[in-house]
Structure 1
Amino acid sequence: MTSTPAAEQYDSPWKGALEEAFPEFIAFYFPDAHRRIDWCREHVFLDQELRQVVRDAELGRRFVDKLVRVTRLGGGEEWVYVHVEVQGSRETAFAKRMFVYNYRLFDRYDRPVASFAVLADDDPGWRPQQFRIEAFGCRTGIRFPVAKLLDHAGEVDALLTNANPFALVTAAHLLTRQTRHDPAARFRAKRRLVHLLYERSWSKRRVLRLFSVLDWMMRLPKSLETKLWQDIEDIEGERKVRYVTSVERLAIERGLQKGMQQGMQQGMQQGMQQGLEKGLEKGMRQGLEKGIVKGEGTILRRQLTRRFGPLPQDILDRIAGADAAQLETWADRVIDAMSLDEVFAGD
């Protein structure tokens, strides 16, 4: 992968999964740290604080993932800040960035900061683990634990039987690489992984978060994507659940289809009174517009939830009642807004 907008998007679904299952994330990739954290105590995500540190450091746009406050087992400093970064591509200045964020966070909180990196790149030889500065006998720097997904390349079968959700995520990453030029093989692998989501008896929220990661990694051609969704609907029908099929990924397409169907029905009814041709045209146009607005609203809710967490009911109501122009204005603000208030200010 390269440092492109696509690489940045690749990292995004990890954030939701990491927040959903943070103890399991640490247990799978950094087991030694997991044994030293008191998981009976609450762990707190500090996304706003991390964004402030990034802005203060004037380092520009970075792929920072999470800052989490945890409690250490035993004595000593009770609170420890855990900074986690998922890096999807090789980057020359990566180790330096880990160092900068570490010391900026320590300077802000005056508490121990543990920095961890998950490397999801395609270069087996890239393994940045430290950064050092030395001048006139004075040394400073950082050495940080790294989890390299490629290290599990020969363990896919074992990963698929591992109950930890991030074993499944790691398997998805590896199978994505293995099937890069074979859509049929990727379809089979993705279908297998989706089946496993339903066999683990996880909550709906966890299934959706993990499906988001799998779906983002393992893109399929349109025909195979449609076939996969048919399989998923069959699975959910058999299990009498509606998990993955409630994901908003196909909302625009399905919203358009539903809107056009409704429009045609409305148009036919109007056509019997006002003239069939004129009624159909008007009804289809109105239905199409409704379908587009519905799809845009669904995407905006998903963007806001990823940035700011679960949305309060009043925000959901405002989105549901908004027109296309208002939704577009809010979607533009999401890019730079630091809070929900900034997105909806003045409206």
Structure 2
Amino acid sequence: MTEPRADLDSPWKDILRAYFPQAIQFFFPNTAALIDWEQPYEFLDKEFQSIARDAEVGRRYADQLVKVWLLGGEQVWLLLHVEIQSQWESGFAERVFVYNVRIFDLYRQVPVSLAILCDEKLSWRPQSYTASYPDTRLNFEFGIVKLLDWRDRIIELEASDNLFAIVVLAHLKVIETKGRVEQRKAWKFRLTKALYEKGYERQQILDLYRFLDWAMILPEAIEREFWQELQTFEEERKVTYVTNAERFGFERGIQEGRQEGRQEGELAIVLRLLTRRTGILSPALRSQVESLPLEQLESLGEALLDFSSSADLDQWLQSRS
């Protein structure tokens, strides 16, 4: 099966930022126990951009720099690295070290460095960066979690109330069901049902489903079967959070944009949904979309709900050129 994998950077960043305390509590409980979660935490985006000069190079990372307060009243920065790509990276430990050095150089802060590894090589566990000479020795260590380590803890994950148990399950099942679309559909449906059964709030369900939908890509025909099953399930529970948000969110946004009298509103919604369905657009495709008149933007907004790759968008654009 050909799987056009959407960009995972954005959903990882979104879920981490929306539920940061839960992420640290799930992945790094020892560090989480030191933090005063009653105090506000702050994402240091400007500071991170100043030290991560390669942050715009690719889509492999979803790194975050966050200021938190410890229970003793001390301020500390957390440098959270998420290695998204399925292949391991030889220079990962060096990158973590370099970021730490840059932070100390610019801000005189020694951050707590933590890493979430999403790759598929079980033996790859970078935890330190070292250098040794006769008169100088360096040993920089940081904390890691390996998502593959939860492969034998599926029952535990399904029983957990922490939102990131669903995130880990989705990641593991994407790996497990490569080339087996029916099994992937079954797990996508099972995890989506769990969002309701765990009693999450509406926004939590939508946020988590966005991650599931982005990660657990299905061929168009199987996706349609999934949506029919999900619609039936939601109707039985008398809640239609996901199906309404996915299928009718665009039309609501168009109406809001029209009321504001801005074509930019429609364009922004279309671009956002296209990125969600097909991944990051190439500059050429994005330029073509941006040049569409209002009427064609509205048509594209309806058509894109069935896109599964950028090739679908390219074909749609060619048919109207």
SS state at 2:36 partner: coil
Q: Who wins on radius of gyration, i.e. which is larger? A: 1
Matched, 1:165 2:163: yes
Work out which structure has the larger RCO, using CA pairs closer than 8 Å and 6 or more positions apart in sequence. 2
Aligned to 1:83, what secondary structure does the other structure show? strand
Structure ranking higher in helix proportion:
1
Task: Compute the TM-score of the two structures, normalised by the length of structure 1.
Answer: 0.68
The alpha-carbon deviation at position 164 of structure 1 amounts to 0.8
Please list the CA deviations of residues 56-105 of structure 1 after superposition, one character each: whole Å capped at 9, or x if unmatched. Answer: x7995562421111001225xx1111111111230010000000111212
Q: 2:269 aligns with which of 298, 301, 315?
A: 298
Give the match's secondary structure for 1:73: coil
Q: Do structure 1's residue 196 and structure 2's residue 162 form an aligned pair? A: no
Q: Counterpart in 2 of 1:183?
A: 181
Moved more, 123-132 or 223-232: 223-232
Q: How far apart, in 2, do the equivalents of 1:237 and 1:39 lie?
A: 38
One-letter amino acid matched to 2:136 = C
Contact 1:64 / 1:86 at 8 angstroms: preserved in 2? yes
Structure 2 Cα separation of the partners of residues 181 and 303 of structure 1: 24
Structure 2 Cα separation of the partners of residues 141 and 64 of structure 1? 25
Q: Give the aligned partner of residue 77 of structure 2.
A: 81
Match of 2:121 in 1: 123
Name the aligned partner's letter for residue 49 of structure 1. Answer: E
- Amino acid paired to 1:232: L
Which of these residues, 134, 144, 161, is aligned with residue 146 of structure 1?
Answer: 144
Q: Cα offset for 1:303?
A: 8.8
- 8 Å CA contact 1:156–1:174 kept in 2: the answer is no
Distance in 1 between residues matched to 2:270 and 2:239, nearest whole Å: 23
Q: Which amino acid aligns with 2:271?
A: L
Contact 1:248/1:298, CA 8 A, preserved across alignment: no
Name the residue aligned to 1:324. Answer: 292
Task: Return the offset for 1:243.
Answer: 2.3
Which segment is superposed worse, 198-207 or 17-26? 198-207
User: Kindly tell me: are residues 233 and 295 of structure 1, through their superposed partners in 2, closer, same or farther at Cα, counting changes over 3 Å?
Assistant: farther
Closer, same or farther: CA 60–190 of 1 in aligned 2, 3 Å: closer
Distance 2:14 2:56 in 1: 24
CA distance in 2, matches of 1:197, 1:93: 37
CA distance in 2, matches of 1:304, 1:67: 25
Give RMSD over aligned pairs. 3.3
Matched, 1:155 2:153: yes
Corresponding letter in the other structure for 1:169: V
Q: Please state how far the C-alpha of 1:218 moved relative to its aligned partner.
A: 1.1
8 Å CA contact 1:43–1:68 kept in 2: the answer is: yes
For residue 116 of structure 1, give the secondary structure of its aligned residue in structure 2: strand
Could you state the TM-score of these two structures normalised by the residue count of structure 2?
0.73
- Which sections of structure 2, spanning at least 5 residues, go unmatched? 255-263, 277-289, 298-321
- Residue 34 of structure 2 is aligned to residue 10 of structure 1: no
Q: 1:225-272 deviations in whole A, cap 9, x for unaligned?
A: 1121122223333334342224458978x99xx9xxxxxxxxxxxxxx
